[in-house]
Amino acid sequence: MTHKPLRAPVIVITGASSGIGLATARMAAERGARVVLAARSGDALARIRAEIEGVGGKAIDVVADVGRRADVQAVADRAVATFGGFDTWVNVAGGSIYGRLREVSDADHERLIQTNFWGTVYGSLVATEHLRQHGGALINVGSIASDLAFPYQGMYAASKHAVKGFTDALRMELMDEKAPVSVTLIKPASIDTPLPQRARNYMDREPSLPPPIYPPEEVANAILHAAVHPQRDIIVGGAGKAFVAGKEFAPGAYDHLSSAIIALQKRTDAPRNPDGALHAPVAAGETRGDPPVPVMRTSAYTRASLHPLAAAVGLLGVGAVTAFAVLGPSSGRRRRL
């Protein structure tokens, strides 16, 4: 499915007050879209809306907790009332918890699932009720944790696995209905956002993301590309693709990386903020976090994957390398018994 480029599309973005959501909102407004900003932090949303309008863009802001279906419906209703509808809905809102699964409280586990999973479910179902009548794109932001598990982020990985299963099933049902709606799952690797600092933290140190770390604008670019040129899945970050492929090839070997992954998720020189933004919003308005390592400028892999010809050539190359590794250099010759 390919959507026609629109002169002034309307894009709804949840989690628009920081990180990937904010980077996407700014980029969409720069490209001429009318933006519907949704998040829990009303003050931050008001500042972002004023910023967009200050440079000639058009935006509205709606305070909403995506874990409540009524709030999500209110976002859609505002978009319809103000702009007559929307063309793209992007589910970005989410958070994380750092700590051993057995140490995390049931209340924290439940809140994370309510936001990450049910927030995506509510957003998707509300959005597709409108889009199936008018056409458009649904874009859900998962993670490479949709395909991998990370120790000390167990429930986060579980929520992103659930988002993938739900997204895949919804896509199939829409295809069966022949609904004019594309469904894309974006799976970022480590992205430089405030997510670690705003996570609920049971560790004795501030969380960090395992390198390499990519800028949030790479995810925003992939999201806006999918709004016009839909793809089923987009992994942002070549390292993420390598991790997913490696785990599929040797899942047992990946499991033995647990100690190294845990170590990479702990910073040694930063103060610990245990509460984060899991249960209530905190000061927002930033796209970037504070990683202890340099951030990549771009992801060459992701940029290439957004173009079908380059992606096809890349897949042929990966297939050739894999065949050589598995079958060996003499696989084309008849073996003697």
Convert 98-137 to b/e letters by CB count within 10 Å (16 or more is b). Answer: bbeeeebeeebbebbbbbbbbbbbbbbebbbebbeeeebb
Over residues 68-99, the pLDDT tens digits come to 999 999 999 999 999 999 999 999 999 999 99
pLDDT above 90 covers a percentage of the chain that reads: 82
Encoded amino acid at 328, one letter:
G
Extended strands (E) in 162-300: 181-188, 200-201, 233-236
Over residues 176-201, the pLDDT tens digits come to 999 999 999 999 999 999 999 999 99
Map out the domains of the chain with their CATH numbers: 10-327 (3.40.50.720)
CB 213 within 8 A of CB 190: yes
Over residues 243-258, the pLDDT tens digits come to 999 999 999 999 999 9
Average pLDDT along the chain, 337 residues, taken 10 residues at a time: 77 98 97 97 96 96 98 98 97 97 98 98 98 96 97 98 98 97 98 95 92 97 96 96 93 93 83 86 88 92 83 50 42 33
The pLDDT assigned to 296 comes to 95
- The pTM of this model reads 0.90
Could you confirm whether 122 is annotated as catalytic? no
Query: How far is 78 from 85, CA to CA, in rounded Å?
Result: 9
Task: Find the catalytic residue in 98, 122, 156, 214.
Answer: 156
